[in-house]
Amino acid sequence: MYPLRRLPKVEKKPARKPFPPPPKRLPDRVSLYRKMGSSVTVCIAVKARMDHCIITVSDKRLSYGDELGAADNAATKAHQIGRRWGILWSADDVSPVNELLREIHYRLHDKPNADRSLVQEIVCAAYNEAQQKAAVDRYLLRFGIHSVAEFRKTGLAEFGPEMFGQIMGEIGSFDLGVQLLVHGFSPPPFESFLHIFEVRNPGISFDHNLEGYGVIGTGGSLALSSLMIRGGGFADFDDAVYRALEAKFAAETASGVGRATTVEIHASNGTTTHLPTSAIGELRAVWEAARKEGIPDEASNIIDKHTKALKNLLYGGPDT
């Protein structure tokens, strides 16, 4: 028999601690704000084609749901980002808005004759970078990773397929919670060309030139319905101003839309005029009075003419 050989004692290395998993769908700030009803709120841009101007209407409310209440005259949502270009914003989380607007303004400040394609490219790029930064801050900085590109390169080997896929899914579904409505004019000699487009998460643009108006915010559906009923593409200046305000007033029944209203008239030469608060109040009174009016006499006569037999059947008459 051969003598048994003792194998050398192998020291066990301490097991590497696994990376802590990301939280299981913990609600981020945007989700919490949405749950609380803190969306902000309604912004409208309408073209007056014949007068070569754009009318913008917005509220000023910041709303934080029933828990924290709301401030009706708290924020200006209309900003100038270039000589002939302006921007309106709506947000579920207002914290990224100021930095995003500053970045857009910085990239456009030395481009007074920027055309629509350049403005759209700059706004979309700035939005996408802000969205990527916010996603990195939320999901990757805890691991010392400073960009999505870095995570794509090293994440699979470092975290394993399951956790890598989970984090990538969180990043892919992350919503910055901001909407932008951009409006402006082409540079000379094409300043009669009016433009309205929208930018949403994660930096995608939607053109509104065909319909002649754009709407963003929680009251957007009501405001959009009001504009669609009128047909849009308003040629007359007075009609455009009133219909834009009409849409704003209609949207005030939505959660988070305030009564305080800003109206701006933007001309193709870069000048902007504000409609006085007193004038807005007078137009609101006209709108409210018009809502209380009954149906036109002509409409009543037509209905009566074609439903006389039915009325006789229902209420009694010559034939009963």
Please determine, for residue 29, whether its predicted confidence score (pLDDT) is greater than 70: no
SS3 223: helix
What is the number of H-type helices and E-type strands within the chain?
11, 12
CATH, residue 40: 3.60.20.10
Please determine, for residue 86, whether its predicted confidence score (pLDDT) is greater than 50: yes
pLDDT tens per residue across span 152-164: 999 999 999 999 9
Would you say the C-alpha torsion 57, 243, 219, 130 has a positive or negative sign? negative
pLDDT tens per residue across span 117-129: 999 999 999 999 9
pLDDT tens per residue across span 43-62: 999 998 888 899 999 988 76
Any domain includes 82: yes
SS3 188: coil
Would you say the C-alpha torsion 247, 89, 125, 33 has a positive or negative sign? negative
Any domain includes 318: no
* Mean pLDDT (the chain, rounded): 83
**pLDDT tier at 111, thresholds 50, 70, 90:** very high
CA dist., res. 300 & res. 306, Å (int): 10
**pLDDT tier at 37, thresholds 50, 70, 90:** very low
Residue 62: its pLDDT value, please?
A: 66
CA dist., res. 273 & res. 275, Å (int): 7
**pLDDT tier at 14, thresholds 50, 70, 90:** low
Give the pair of three-digit tokens for residue 317.
């008459």
Please determine, for residue 4, whether its predicted confidence score (pLDDT) is greater than 70: no
pLDDT tens per residue across span 171-224: 999 999 999 999 999 998 888 899 999 999 999 999 999 999 999 998 888 899
Any domain includes 20: no
Please determine, for residue 64, whether its predicted confidence score (pLDDT) is greater than 90: no
Residue 66: its pLDDT value, please?
A: 44
Least confident of 18-32, 154-168, 262-276: 18-32
Residue 260: its pLDDT value, please?
A: 87
- Using a pLDDT cut of 90, give the percent of the chain over it: 55
CA dist., res. 289 & res. 3, Å (int): 110
Range of the structural domain that residue 242 is part of:
29-139+176-275
Please determine, for residue 275, whether its predicted confidence score (pLDDT) is greater than 80: yes
Residue 167: its pLDDT value, please?
A: 94
Please determine, for residue 101, whether its predicted confidence score (pLDDT) is greater than 50: yes
Please determine, for residue 256, whether its predicted confidence score (pLDDT) is greater than 70: no
Any domain includes 70: yes
- Give how many domains the chain has, as a whole number: 1
Q: Which stretches within the chain are classed as H helix?
A: 29-36, 65-68, 97-108, 116-139, 148-159, 161-172, 220-230, 237-251, 277-292, 297-306, 308-315
